[in-house]
Amino acid sequence: MLGRRYYIVAVWLRSALRKAGSSSGYAAMGLFTLPYYRTFRQNTLLPILAIVNSANLRKDESEIAAMLSRWRDRKMQELYFVQVAATLLSAAAIGCLSWDTPECEHWIGPAAWYCSLVLSLFSVLLSTSESFIFTTIIQKESQAGSKLQPPVFEHDLLIICRIIKNKDSLRSTNTSSRARSGFFISESEDVIDNDLENGERQQGLEAEASDFSTIDTINDDVEIRVRWNMVFTWQAPMMLLAYSVVAFLVGLTVYVCAPLYGECSYQSKTAISFLATLVLGSICFIWCSFWAYRFVDMEEP
């Protein structure tokens, strides 16, 4: 009886810690994505969550394929924008570094411009790489469009989610399952070696999981979970661009506002005008960024 109580307390404590960790994780994610919060949610987070939820609900595969296609098209447009914007921003940072340096300029100014330049260059490189990946996927789908095959394969979902085979299903798996035409690749987080005999079943599962030539469609024996590492990966170009813009504005502010914190030849009125424009522009940007997405359903075809 006492052991059962300890078990209940342990389960409750684990659940509470998991909820607390999830809440803190979402809070940290909202804080770090604040400079591009709406873009991150509408173009990366919410579409991926919708696709994973639809896969877990075992919706029609053509519908899931359409959701994946719309998400890829949206990301392609975002990556193209990032490439253009980051290229222009890197050119602007290089131009600012060639300006005359005031005697009282703080070191944060040029340091911020150098940071902006580095972040924008990496943003260009990463967005170009991811654009190539999406283009390759789209080309493969168009080439295989005439073949008779299910519209959604597991490798289509692996770029955004983790596919886990249920423990009960793994326990019931025997050697006859190896004769199937395909195997739904699994990534189990639990150790199931206690139920395997002499390691043979585990070796068979690993051998099948490494076979990408034959892949089944979604079935009822798997669980779909968000692959958060891939969420970070697909939003990284926009993240680098956003923080590059922030660093550029910091450097520009330090440079222009030099008369406010030192004895310089520049007039203070110029710095005050710049600060007023920066505040008004920031308010306008934040306000419009919020309301532009407020009543738009980005999941509509």
pLDDT higher than threshold 90 for residue 66: no
Q: Residue 152: its pLDDT value, please?
A: 56
183 close to 212: Cβ distance less than 8 angstroms:
no
pLDDT at 85: 95
- One-letter amino acid at 184 equals F
Q: Could you read off the pLDDT of 115-167 as tens digits, one per residue?
A: 999 999 999 999 999 999 988 888 877 776 555 455 555 667 888 888 777 65
Query: Whose CA is closest to 7, among 213, 15, 165, 222?
Result: 15
- Identify the helix (H) or strand (E) that includes residue 222: strand 222-226
Confidence of residue 301 (pLDDT cuts 50, 70, 90): very low
The whole-chain average pLDDT of the chain stands at 76
Looking up tokens 């260059």 gives 121
Tell me the residue type at 109.
G
| CA angle at 48 for the pair 169 and 165, rounded to the nearest 5° | 10
pTM for this one?
A: 0.74
Q: Are 71 and 105 in contact (CB under 8 A)?
A: no
- pLDDT confidence of residue 262: 67
Domain ranges of the chain: 33-150+235-294, 161-226
C-beta separation of 234 from 160 below 8 A: yes
Ramachandran class of 28: left when φ > 0, alpha when ψ lies in -120 to 50, beta otherwise: alpha
Torsion of CA 82, 83, 85, 91, to 10 degrees: 140
In whole angstroms, give the CA distance from residue 93 to residue 114. 7
Q: What is the mean pLDDT of residues 247-276?
A: 82
Percentage of the chain with pLDDT > 70? Answer: 71
Q: Where are the alpha helices (DSSP H) in the chain?
A: 2-32, 37-40, 46-56, 61-97, 108-143, 154-157, 167-172, 200-209, 228-256, 258-261, 268-294
Q: Judge contact between 227 and 52, C-beta under 8 A.
A: no
pLDDT, residue 122, reads: 96
Q: Which residue has the higher pLDDT, 185 or 138?
A: 138
List the structure tokens of 200: 């043979």
How remote is the C-alpha of 191 from its chain's centroid?
A: 28
Give the least confident one: 18-22, 49-53, 273-277: 18-22
Rg of the chain over Cα atoms, rounded to whole angstroms, equals 26
User: 132 vs 30, which has greater pLDDT?
Assistant: 132
The phi and psi torsions of 163 (rounded to 5 degrees) equal -110, 115
- Per-residue confidence (pLDDT) for residue 145, from 0 to 100: 59
Which pair of tokens denotes residue 12?
A: 């409750």
Position 206 confidence tier, pLDDT thresholds 50, 70, 90: very low
In the predicted model, is pLDDT for residue 181 greater than 50?
no
| Residue that wins the pLDDT comparison between 221 and 13 | 13
Residues 72-106: tens digit of each pLDDT: 999 999 999 999 999 999 999 999 988 887 777 78
pLDDT, position 238: 95
Find all residues with CB under 8 Å of 86, minimum gap 6, and list them.
120, 121, 123, 124, 127, 237, 240, 241, 244
